Structure 1
Amino acid sequence: MTDPVAPPAGRRLRPLILLCLIALAGGLAWYFLVRAPAAPPARVASPWTGPVPVRVVDARLENLSVEVKAIGTVTPLNNVVVRSRVDGQLQSVLFQEGERVKAGELLAEIDPAPYRVRLAQAEGQKQQNLAQLKNAENDLAVYRRLFEQDSIARQQLDTQAALVNQLRGTLMSDQAQVDDAKLQLDYTRIVAPIAGRLGLRRVDAGNLVTTGDAEGIVSITQTQPIGVQFTVPEVQLPAIREAHAAGRLLPVEAWDRNEQQMLAEGVLTTLDNQIDLATGTLRLKAQFDNRDDALFPNQFVNVRLRVRTLEDAVTIPVDAVQYGSQGTYVYMIAEGKAVLRPIRLGPSTGERAAVLEGLKAEDQVVLEGLDRLREGRAVTVVTTPPPSSPVLQPGGG
């Protein structure tokens, strides 16, 4: 029986080397993860540690118009549907759709033949009764002479006088029939009752028209001048009524939907006689010449009613005004730092507001850079902002 062969020496050393490597890796991991001190986190520097760049503007001394803003609807002063006043066949249409017409201008004609016949009949009847009246008047003159000669009885004279009066009444009725026939014949010529702009034609030549046709032939809308109706809250009513009662013509401006373009200028003409209980508003009407047709019927417009004008008022941009627990205020600059200045505001209009207390003309207030300002914060006044800088933007304090 033979002895087993012993393994080589290199194979016996491999497990020992592997254990040494594992121990070395564990020691390094323990040193770097547990023993080594953690590096301090990087500190992010604030971009606004220095003075805040701001833009300032001067308070101005100027006349400030106090305005009431509202939404209005353009309404024509007159809108007429032209209808026929007699029945008949529409012989001709003499207008173009959409054109302007003057009052009394001929628009259409209805076949006049039947009405000329009626006029001739009325005139013939009148002529016949006129001849009878003349004959009766001649007989009455004879009867009066005979009665004076005591040749006829009184009753015969009175009978003849009654016949004359009867024929005179008949003649008056005949004249009325003639006048009515002439009027009906005149109605075959359809004329414009008012001046204005025509709408779309609603009937064509050759059709039969009647007096009861609700659609009519065409509509006419008066656009020069034209009105605008709008409403104002009742809290603003006293100032408007006071100015209107004093006989002042309050200017009114009509602007487009985006309030980018003024369309027309007019004056306030009418105040309604009662406040709407549901909305607490009062309806008003203004009138505009509208010579360039900038205002169109039923168009929605933004209305600015100028109630009064503040003379020599101290004004600043509305964006410079800040609101807080201490009331309204602005930021001013003193010795390179922001200073909070309380103010009392008056009326505002557009982009400017009147300051009743707290500022005087030519005082400088901060307009841009307000979102980073606090009392005592260091500032630097700039005149031209960088093209792409988001720094100088109007903001709240």
Structure 2
Amino acid sequence: MGPVVRCPLVMQGVLAVVAAMLVLAGCSSQDAEKKQAAKAAEPAAVMVQAKAPVVADVPVYGEYVGRLAAKENVEIRARVEGYLKERNFTEGSIVKKGELLFVIEPRQYQENLQKAKAELERQNALFAKAKVDLSRFEQLYKQQAVSRDEYDTRLTNQRELAANVDSAKAAVEATERDLGYTRITAPITGRIGKTFVNVGNLVGKGDNTLLAEISSTDPMYADFSISERDYLEFSRIRQANGDKDREFPLTLVLADDSVYPHQGQADMADRALDAKTGTLAVRGIFPNPQGILKPGQFAKIRALLEYRKGAMLVPQRAIVDVQGSKSVYVVGGDGKIEARAVTLGGSKDGSFVIDSGLKPTDLVVVEGVSKIRPGVKAKIVAAPDAAVAATPAAAPAAPAAAPAKP
């Protein structure tokens, strides 16, 4: 009877164990499915190239946007009224100082000069007769043959005629000057622009009509502005070097990113900073023997600030600019992207010098910057050495184009 009673109890225990195992197996399967689903939902890592900053001794440049201007710019205006008779130059050509440019119809002024000369001859004749009369009356007065009043009258007449002669001489000089104004010559050597008045038009009426403009070509000015911070940096460098008269050579980068072959120098700094913009106006001067530079051209002016030892360099493409704030993307220890605010200290051959915000061991994203954002998982792929190293200069004598110093 005993075994018959125990069999149902054993079977119940076995069934309970089997049921528990089935429940545990189901839970494990659900957990594995959830983990697989979560892993599938996690975004894939973005492929980027990253490398530590290059540490090197480099020259540091400041770069500024400027505009070229002629050293001399002269407006050619009609100073007398008349019809424009001749134009003796080709528009856009080089003219020499003293070269005849325009002729205004001179006939009226030639006639005025003849009249003025005739009047001068008449006044000279009257004055000569008055001198003879005064001399005769002076002898008669000494002999008491004429009265004092008669003598004084002759003396006054002689003085009036002398004044008339002076006035006639001045009139001759004025008409000669006006006649000279009908022949307009170049006041400087330079390139003359287009003509604003055609031959046959009346010029000089009411005001001095603008006929043309001449601009000198060699040398050329480059006007630009530097920030107050850069001005203080220039001053600090000069004082630190004990060379207050040190020249800062300037390099010109043209609109096509080519480097102008002739080096320039700072010619003038304004007396005060502009309170509205916080900048200081500076003027550079560049030789222009081939006439490549023209007034009004925009260009980048690059100034050598200093040779910095142990500078950290990152390529231009690694810099992120958001409303004037500069930053770089760094791959953190957990493989996620971090944004690091940095301070730039100049540029060198397409790379920026980092003054603060980075460590030499940080891995800076140099390729794929546009595909990432802070917090994104990144996977670093091999980057060639040239990815971070400075690009070669465009010409041996001058640095290649580089981004502006903020």
Aligned residue runs from structure 1 range 2-41, under 5 A: none
CA shift at 1:305, angstroms?
2.1
Q: Could you tell me how far 1:263 is from its partner in structure 2?
A: 5.9
- Distance in 1 of aligned mates of 2:210 and 2:155: 51
Of the candidates 184, 187, 193, which is equivalent to residue 190 of structure 1?
184
Partner of 2:252: 254
The one-letter code matched in structure 2 to 1:391 is A
User: Deviation at 1:102?
Assistant: 1.9
Name the residue aligned to 1:270.
Answer: 268
Work out the CA distance in 1 between the residues paired with 2:281 and 2:70: 16
Map 1:158-237 onto structure 2 (within 5 A): 158-212=152-206, 216-237=210-231
Contact 1:317 1:352 in 2 (8 A): yes
Q: Is the 8 A contact 1:110 1:188 kept in 2?
A: yes
How far apart are 1:55 and its partner, in Å? 8.8
Relative to structure 1, is the Cα distance of residues 281 and 355 closer, same or farther in structure 2, using a 3 angstrom cutoff? closer
1:157-189 per-position Cα deviation (integer Å, ceiling 9, x unaligned): 222111111100010000000000000100000
Query: In 1, distance between residues paired with 2:141 and 2:71?
Result: 69
Aligned to 1:145: 139
For the 8 Å contact 1:251–1:268, the answer to whether it is kept is: yes
How far has the Cα of 1:205 moved from its partner? 1.9
1:69-124 C-alpha deviation (Å, 9 max, x unpaired): 11111122332221111111111110001001122211011111111100000000
Quote the RMSD (CA, aligned, Å). Answer: 4.3
How far did residue 264 of structure 1 move? 4.5
The residue that corresponds to 1:75 in the other structure is 69
Q: Per the alignment, in what secondary structure is the counterpart of residue 163 of structure 2?
A: helix
Secondary structure of the 1:237 match is helix
Q: Distance in 2 between matches of 1:273 and 1:59?
A: 38
Question: Displacement, 1:218?
Answer: 1.5
In structure 2, C-alpha distance between the alignment counterparts of 1:366 and 1:262, rounded to whole Å? 37
**Structure with larger Rg:** 1
- After superposition, the Cα gap between the structure-2 partners of 1:214 and 1:305, relative to the gap in structure 1 and judged at 3 Å, is farther
Partners of 1:315 and 1:352 within 8 A in 2? no
Amino acid at match of 1:174: A
Between the aligned partners of 1:157 and 1:57, the Cα distance in structure 2 is 105
Return the alpha-carbon distance in structure 2 between the equivalents of residues 155 and 247 of structure 1.
77
Alpha-carbon shift at residue 352 of structure 1 (Å)? 6.8
Write out per-residue CA displacement over residues 210-257 of structure 1, whole angstroms, 9 at most, x where no aligned residue: 254676222212232221111111112134457599343322221124
Q: CA contact under 8 A between 2:273 and 2:279: conserved in structure 1?
A: yes
Q: Is the 8 A contact 1:224 1:291 kept in 2?
A: yes
Q: Is the 8 A contact 1:90 1:110 kept in 2?
A: yes
Partner of 1:318: 314
Deviates more, 1:254-263 or 1:133-142: 254-263
For 1:84-95, list aligned pairs within 5 A: 84-95=78-89
CA distance in 2, matches of 1:156, 1:392: 115
TM-score under structure 1 length normalisation:
0.65
Counterparts of 1:288-367 in structure 2 under 5 Å? 288-306=286-304, 308-310=305-307, 313-315=309-311, 317-319=313-315, 347-350=345-348, 351=351, 353=353
Contact 1:369 / 1:392 at 8 angstroms: preserved in 2? no
Once the two structures are superposed, residues 267-315 of structure 1 have per-residue CA deviations (whole angstroms, 9 ceiling, x without a partner) of 1112223322232112111111222223222111111123x4338x345
Unaligned runs of 5+ in 1: 1-33, 44-52, 331-344, 372-388
Cα distance change, pair 149–207 in 1 and its aligned pair in 2 (3 A): same
Equivalenced residues, count: 310
- What is the aligned counterpart of 1:115 among 109, 131, 152? 109
Partners of 1:87 and 1:137 in 2: CA distance? 40
Say if 1:100 and 1:208 are closer, same or farther in 2 by CA, change over 3 A. Answer: same
1: CA distance, partners of 2:66 / 2:261: 13
Match of 2:5 in 1: none
Q: Does 2:383 align with 1:392?
A: yes
Cα distance between partner residues in 2 of 1:276 and 1:54? 42
**Alignment-mate amino acid for residue 292 of structure 1:** Q
Compared CA separation, residues 370 and 65, structure 1 to 2 (3 A): closer
Q: Which amino acid aligns with 1:209?
A: V
Output the CA distance in 2 between the equivalents of 1:319 and 1:165.
88
The whole-number CA distance in structure 2 between the counterparts of 1:192 and 1:175 is 28
**Mapped contact 2:54–2:313 kept (Cα < 8 A):** no
**How far, CA to CA, are the matches of 2:103 and 2:228 in structure 1?**
51
Separation in structure 2 between the aligned mates of residue 265 and residue 365 of structure 1, nearest angstrom: 38
How far apart are the structure 2 equivalents of 1:189 and 1:235?
A: 53
**Shift in Å, 1:353:** 4.4
